[in-house]
């Protein structure tokens, strides 16, 4: 028997706003609203969009040395993460592949962790099994929403002045309309913005207040995907997975020097070898020359017709005004400017390797 999709605390609001609901990772989520994916994307780049990300797993870790213990499962530095700071990282397996990517925040007396919706069934037991003496608690009574875009600070700051004091990857607890919320200045669109954890019984009221701002419109999963793709941000299950090393995925920046040198995390041998010797393939940006988008799975060929890789994410980039894609190619063919072909519907279409991201990231540092 197949379980019915779960609903977030904002489900009724999505329906009221005309959201087209689809099953995503076992949740009924809006893929778009009447504005449409293209306009929702462009509005987020120009002003601010409100995203429901309540399907993500919110987890609290409590216990002595919780950061040190969690650090043993990831290749990033968490034991030195200062209070009020957040960090992007990923669980690695014994083969040096990526089990999932996540955000870890130092909330003072605990760690606040957000994991992907599709991997929460794996990540939470993984932490519970390996973090001896640490209490691992998944939160089910809070919504999680993101306000993203160049005017996100105005939308959130009008209701919560404390949010304006945060810089990129900082987090705090503050009141919004008298409700205590966790506010983190981060997101997955390449724009400035916030992710806000809200008690579920107050989520609709607060989201209505955000949407009452002239700059803020609801945005669905469709535009969330095109925004992150233009910004060169990996989607777990597409661009990174259990077989992908962080070095292949160009995620070396998320592994601080001490961790790269000392190891002490699953798969460290492979990852340190990849760092020292390089990898056979590399994640790159790919820009088709024509108008036909290249979707995940499309074969990448050199100009002689030899297979050199595959697309992992692709579609139309509204800000770029053309198709954009990400994928893995042999390192020998990974230099920006390299001419390649994409095998789309059996026909070779010209394209070019390009640097990521496709658009400038606008974080408030």
329 and 191, same structural domain? no
Token pair 């297979």 is found at: 307
Nearest to 169 by CA among 152, 150, 151, 188: 188
95 domain residue, yes or no: no
Q: Are 147 and 155 in contact (CB under 8 A)?
A: yes
Residue 194: is its pLDDT beyond 90? yes
* 210 belongs to a structural domain: yes
Q: What share of the chain has pLDDT > 70, as a percent? A: 99
Strands 111-115, 20-24: pairing kind: unpaired
At residue 1, the pLDDT reads 56
Mean of pLDDT values over 226-236: 97
Number of domains in the chain: 2
Angle at 120 between CA 6 and CA 107, to 5 degrees: 110
* Structural domain span for residue 158: 6-54+140-230
For residues 225 and 284, membership in a common domain is answered with no
Residue 59, pLDDT score: 98
Residue 224 has φ and ψ, to the nearest 5°, of -60, -40
pLDDT tens per residue across span 53-106: 999 999 999 999 999 999 999 999 999 999 999 999 999 999 999 999 999 999
Peptide bond before residue 357 is cis, with ω within 30 degrees of 0: yes
125-167 pLDDT, tens digit per residue, is 999 999 999 999 999 999 999 999 999 999 999 999 999 999 9
Residue 321 lies in a domain: yes
Q: Give the global pTM.
A: 0.95
Our CA angle for 26, 32, 34, nearest 5°, is 145
- pLDDT over 70 at 208, yes or no: yes
Whether 37 is in a domain gets the answer yes
Mean pLDDT check: name the lowest of 2-11, 35-44, 212-221, 282-291. 2-11
| Residues 168 and 179 sit within 8 Å (Cβ to Cβ) | no
Chain segment 305-353, per-residue pLDDT in tens: 999 999 999 999 999 999 999 999 999 999 999 999 999 999 999 999 9
What pLDDT is recorded for position 96? Answer: 98
Please identify, among 230, 246, 272, the residue that sits at the C-terminal boundary of a domain. 230
Is residue 209 pLDDT above 90, yes or no? yes
265 with 92: CB under 8 angstroms? yes
Residue identified by tokens 């606008």 is 362
C-alpha of 193 from chain center: 13
Q: CA 284 to CA 281: how far, in whole Å?
A: 9
**Mean per-residue pLDDT for 213-224?**
98
Residue 172 tokens read as 């705090």
Look at the alpha carbons of 233, 234, 239, 240 in this order and tell me if their dihedral is positive or negative.
Answer: positive
- CA 186 to chain CA centroid, nearest Å: 10
Residue 240 binned pLDDT confidence (cut-offs 50, 70, 90): very high
35 domain-assigned: yes
Q: Is 317 part of a structural domain of the chain?
A: yes
Element housing 172 (H / E): strand 171-176
Q: Has residue 38 got a pLDDT over 80?
A: yes
Sheet containing 193-199: which strands, arranged edge to edge? Answer: 171-176, 179-184, 193-199, 142-148, 48-52, 216-218
Q: Is residue 103 part of a domain?
A: no
Band (pLDDT 50/70/90 cuts) for residue 3 is confident
3-state class (DSSP) for residue 289 = coil
Q: How many whole angstroms separate alpha carbon 278 and alpha carbon 107?
A: 36
- Judged against a pLDDT cut of 90, whether residue 178 lies above it is answered with yes
Residue 40 lies in a domain: yes
Give the SS3 label for residue 37.
Answer: helix
Residues 189 and 324 in one domain: no
What length does the chain have? 365
Rg (CA), the chain: 20
Mean pLDDT of the chain: 97
The torsion angles phi and psi of 260, rounded to 5 degrees, stand at -65, -40
Query: What is the CATH number for 158?
Result: 3.30.1360.120
Distance CA 192, CA 45 (A): 10
Residue 159's pLDDT is 98
What confidence category does residue 2 fall into, taking pLDDT thresholds of 50, 70 and 90?
A: low
In the block, which residue shows the tokens 């592949």?
Answer: 97
Query: What percent of the chain is modeled with pLDDT above 90?
Result: 97
């Amino acid at each position: 028997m197949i379980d019915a999709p779960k609903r977030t605390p904002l489900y009724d609001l999505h329906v009221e706003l005309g959201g087209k609901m689809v099953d995503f990772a076992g949740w009924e989520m809006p893929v778009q609203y009447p504005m449409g994916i293209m306009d929702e994307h462009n509005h987020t780049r120009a002003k601010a969009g409100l995203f429901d990300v309540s399907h993500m797993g919110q987890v609290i870790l409590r216990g002595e040395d919780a950061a040190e213990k969690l650090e043993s499962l990831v290749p990033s530095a968490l034991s030195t993460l200062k209070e009020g700071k957040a960090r992007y990282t990923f669980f690695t397996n014994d083969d040096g592949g990526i089990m999932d990517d996540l955000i870890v925040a130092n909330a003072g007396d605990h760690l606040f962790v957000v994991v992907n919706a599709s991997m929460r069934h794996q990540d939470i037991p993984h932490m519970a099994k390996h973090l001896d003496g640490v209490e691992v608690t998944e939160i089910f009574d809070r919504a999680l929403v993101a306000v993203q875009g160049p005017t996100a600070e105005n939308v959130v700051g009008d209701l919560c002045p404390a949010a304006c004091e945060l810089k990129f990857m900082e987090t705090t607890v503050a009141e919004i309309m008298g409700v205590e919320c966790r506010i983190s200045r981060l997101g997955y669109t390449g724009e400035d913005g916030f992710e806000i954890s809200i008690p579920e019984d107050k989520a609709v009221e607060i989201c209505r207040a955000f949407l009452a701002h002239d700059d803020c419109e609801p945005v669905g999963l469709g535009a969330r995907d095109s925004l992150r793709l233009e910004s060169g941000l990996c989607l777990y299950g597409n661009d990174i997975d259990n077989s992908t090393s962080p070095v292949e995925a160009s995620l070396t920046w998320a592994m601080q020097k001490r961790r790269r040198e000392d190891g002490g995390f699953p798969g460290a041998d492979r990852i340190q070898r990849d760092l020292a010797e390089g990898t056979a393939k590399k994640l790159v940006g790919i820009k088709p020359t024509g108008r036909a988008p290249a979707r995940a799975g499309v074969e990448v060929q050199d100009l002689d017709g030899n297979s050199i890789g595959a697309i992992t994410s692709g579609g139309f980039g509204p800000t770029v005004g053309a198709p954009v894609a990400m994928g893995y190619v042999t390192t020998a063919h990974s230099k920006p400017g390299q001419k390649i072909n994409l095998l789309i519907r059996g026909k070779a279409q010209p394209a070019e390797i390009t640097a990521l991201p496709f658009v400038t990231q606008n974080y408030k540092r």
